[in-house]
Amino acid sequence: MDVSNNEVGRCCVVWFGQPGSMERSTLAAGGWQLRVVAGDAPARIGLRGGDRVIGLVDLRALTDEQVAPLARLLEAHSELPLIALDGSRAVEHHPALERILARCGERLVSPVNPAQLAQALAACERNRADNAGDIERLVGASRPMLEVRATVHRYARVDLPVLITGETGTGKELAARALHDLSARRWRPFVAVNCGALSPSLVQSELFGHERGAFTGANARRLGLFETGNGGTVFLDEVGDLPADAQTSLLRVLQEGTLERVGSNQSVLVDVRVLAATHVDLEQAVEQGRFRQDLYYRLDVLRLDMPPLRVRGDDIELLARRALDEFRELHQVRARGFDPDARRAMRAHAWPGNVRELLNRVRRAAVVTEQELIRAADLHLADPTLQPAICLDDRREHAERQAVLDALRACGYNVSECARRLRVSRVTVYRLCRKHQLQLAALR
């Protein structure tokens, strides 16, 4: 993800201690404003709304007397992401200081070079942006959603892998973030990666890093996502798409807590909590020999099933209203609600794309309608009193089947090529073939 420093609001580092001149110039070069809180800490720090702020705890000149007031100040700003800058003195046995350090996402050692400082700020900022929500973002008051929220709370507290299952758009990634945000690792990184989107030749290096010269083009050592996420949570989306060699390396991380960078045979210790999500049936993938059974058992320690939207009852309308209200805050549109037919149509619809589909339909309707109340037609939903909603789904299914078939034909039934054309993974092509009863062997 790109971290740009010129969005709305200022980017500000509150430096608890005394920055050196090199550090001041690094911050200035990165577009960071600097506020120095030195010596006796004030009771509160005035932070302007809209500013993006990171605290840096400079331990180099911190005296024992300053620890308690600083701890109180930081506790009053529990939302502030922190970086620590260690000096040479050992101050860690102070319990208040230990609490502060436990919160620091990054720890730098003085003398720190400009690149390290810039990197730490970027990582911290990225985390802050990613974690901007918590479980409240999992909207829903239906029984299935209340159960999901209770389960998330229960699972967040234990440091075990969770396998999150559910159809596309049911909020698997949102749930993974909530698990992280509610866990003891919340001040550490949350790293999300879509395994299906990684190119098979680079997946090992992306996940586990590489040494300089490991392969052509590897001009420098690069840390993989597991090392970047050290101390935090790694979320592996579409874990069923992981190629075999990466499955083996992942198993090792889960079993031994170690990894090897590509081009190295040295073990590196990593401490990450692994959350994985899949919309395909992993058990079936295991039966078909596409997914390691031992890995499956390691990932499936705790199971979180995200219910499809169609079984969430009143949540459909709740989510639709929320989506419309949020849209209205940002855009000038006429629509301010839904008419009764639209509400009925939303309930009758099967929502194969779940919450994602609902958000898209509502936003589109809000733009196109000229009415105050959005109608079923604005949502491109059939009025259930006129037509069974099933027709729309049938059309979509038919279109999907045809698209896969066309792509397969166009590339001589080569699955890799077909996957490239459709911009999906090979695993997805196989899944779609099964779903639409397209028998590759027979077609070829």
Q: How far is the CB of 432 from Mg ion (least distance, A)?
A: 17
Q: How far is the CB of 12 from Mg ion (least distance, A)?
A: 33
Residue 166 binds which of ligand ADP, Mg ion, none (CB < 5-8 A, kind-dependent): ligand ADP
Interaction residues for ligand ADP, span 193-232 (CB under 6 A): none
Task: Enumerate residues 114-153 that contact ligand ADP by CB under 6 A.
Answer: 137-140
CB of 241 to Mg ion, least distance (A): 12
Residue 13 as a binder of ligand ADP (CB under 6 A): the answer is no
* 135: partner contacted, choices ligand ADP, Mg ion, none (Cβ within 5-8 A by kind): none
Figure out which of the listed residues 130, 134, 173, 300 binds Mg ion, where binding follows CB under 5 A. Answer: 173
357 binds Mg ion (CB under 5 A): no
Residue range at the interface with ligand ADP (CB under 6 A); choices 153-161, 166-174, 282-290, 413-421: 166-174
Choose between 100 and 277: whose C-beta lies nearer to Mg ion.
277
| Nearest alpha-carbon partner for 97 in 77, 62, 71 | 71
As measured in angstroms, the least distance from the Cβ of 254 to ligand ADP is 21
Which positions from 282 through 311 interact with Mg ion, judged by CB under 5 A? none
Contact partner, 118, from ligand ADP, Mg ion, none, Cβ < 5-8 Å per class: none
Q: How far is the CB of 349 from ligand ADP (least distance, A)?
A: 16
| Distance, CA of 93 to CA of 110 (rounded, Å) | 19
Q: Which is nearer to Mg ion, 177 or 273 (CB)?
A: 177
Q: How many residues at the interface with ligand ADP, by CB under 6 A?
A: 16
Q: Provide, rounded to whole angstroms, the least separation between the CB of residue 307 and ligand ADP.
A: 10
Q: How many CA atoms lie within 13 A of 246 on its CB side?
A: 24
What does 356 bind: ligand ADP, Mg ion, none (CB cut-off 5 to 8 Å by kind)?
A: ligand ADP
**Terminal-to-terminal C-alpha distance of the chain:** 41
**Residue 105 or 166: which CB sits closer to ligand ADP?**
166
Point out which span in 13-21, 167-175, 351-359, 369-377 binds Mg ion (CB under 5 A).
167-175
Answer yes or no whether residue 356 interacts with ligand ADP by CB under 6 A. yes
Kindly state the smallest distance separating residue 318's Cβ from ligand ADP, in Å: 9
SS3 string of the chain? CCCCCCCCCCEEEEEECCCCHHHHHHHHHCCCEEEEECCCCCCCCCCCCCCEEEEEEECCCCCHHHHHHHHHHHHHCCCCCEEEEECCCCCCCCHHHHHHHHHEEEEEECCCCHHHHHHHHHHHHHHHHHCCCCHHHCCCCCHHHHHHHHHHHHHHCCCCCEEEECCCCCCHHHHHHHHHHCCCCCCCCEEEEEHHHCCCCCHHHHHHCECCCCCCCCCCCECCHHHHCCCCEEEEECHHHCCHHHHHHHHHHHHHCEECCECCCCCEECCCEEEEEECCCHHHHHHCCCCCHHHHHHHCCEEEECCCHHHCCCHHHHHHHHHHHHHHHHCCCCCCEECHHHHHHHHHCCCCCHHHHHHHHHHHHHHHCCCCEECHHHHCCCCCCCCCCHHHHHHHHHHHHHHHHHHHHHCCCCHHHHHHHHCCCHHHHHHHHHHCCCCHHHHC
Name the one range near Mg ion by CB under 5 A: 73-81, 173-181, 211-219, 365-373.
173-181
Q: How many Å apart are CA 351 and CA 310, to the nearest integer? A: 6
Q: Verify binding: residue 171, ligand ADP, rule CB under 6 A.
A: yes
Q: How far is the CB of 277 from Mg ion (least distance, A)?
A: 7
Residue nearest to ligand ADP (CB): 171
Task: From the list ligand ADP, Mg ion, none, pick the one residue 240 interacts with, judged by a Cβ distance below 5 to 8 Å according to partner type.
Answer: none
Smallest CA-to-CA distance from 68 within 102, 89, 95, 101 is with 95
Pick what 157 binds: Mg ion, ligand ADP, none; C-beta below 5 to 8 Å, kind-dependent.
Answer: none
173 touching ligand ADP, by CB under 6 A: yes
Which chain residues interact with Mg ion by CB under 5 A?
A: 173
Which chain residues interact with ligand ADP by CB under 6 A?
A: 137-140, 166, 168-174, 319, 355-356, 359
